[in-house]
Amino acid sequence: MKTTVDLPDDLMIEVKVAAARRRCTLRQFFEQALRREAHIGPPKPKKPRPFKWHTYPGGLAPGFDVANRERMYEWFARELGEK
C-alpha cells in the first residue's frame, strides 16, 4: 500500500543515512521501524498447500518397461508409429 507522510527534512536526511548504513531500502527501513514501534513481528510465511496424489487403477501398458530406457523408446516407436 502506498501512502504519503510529511516528515521534517532533517529527519528524512537522518533516515536516508541510517538506511544506507544498513544497506537497505527506505521501504525496508520504514517497514522494520513501523513493525518494531507497533510491536508487530514479520509476516508469517505462507504454508504450502499439501500435495495430494491422485492414483488410478490400470497399471502400465503391456510391454512398457520403465526400468529400461531402450525398451521404453522401442515401445513408443511401436505404439505411436514413430521410426
Q: Establish if 70 belongs to a structural domain.
A: no
State phi, psi for 37 to the nearest 5 degrees.
-70, -35
User: How many domains is the chain built from?
Assistant: 1
Q: Is the pTM of this model over 0.85?
A: no
Contact by Cβ (8 Å): 67, 73: no
Q: Is residue 77 one of the residues assigned to a domain?
A: no
Structural domain range at position 40: 1-46
On whether residue 39 sits in a domain, the answer given is: yes
CB 25 within 8 A of CB 33: no
Each residue of 10-66: pLDDT tens digit?
999 999 999 999 999 999 999 999 988 888 877 788 888 898 888 888 888 888 888
Q: Per the structure block, which three cell numbers stand in for 29?
A: 527501513
Q: How far apart are CA 56 and CA 33, in angstroms?
A: 53
Q: Is residue 71 part of a domain?
A: no
| Per-residue pLDDT, 83 | 52
Residue 59 has a pLDDT of 82
What is the distance of C-alpha 54 from the center of its chain? 24
Helix (H) or strand (E) holding 13: helix 9-22
Within a domain: 64: no
Round to whole Å and give the CA distance between 35 and 12.
Answer: 18
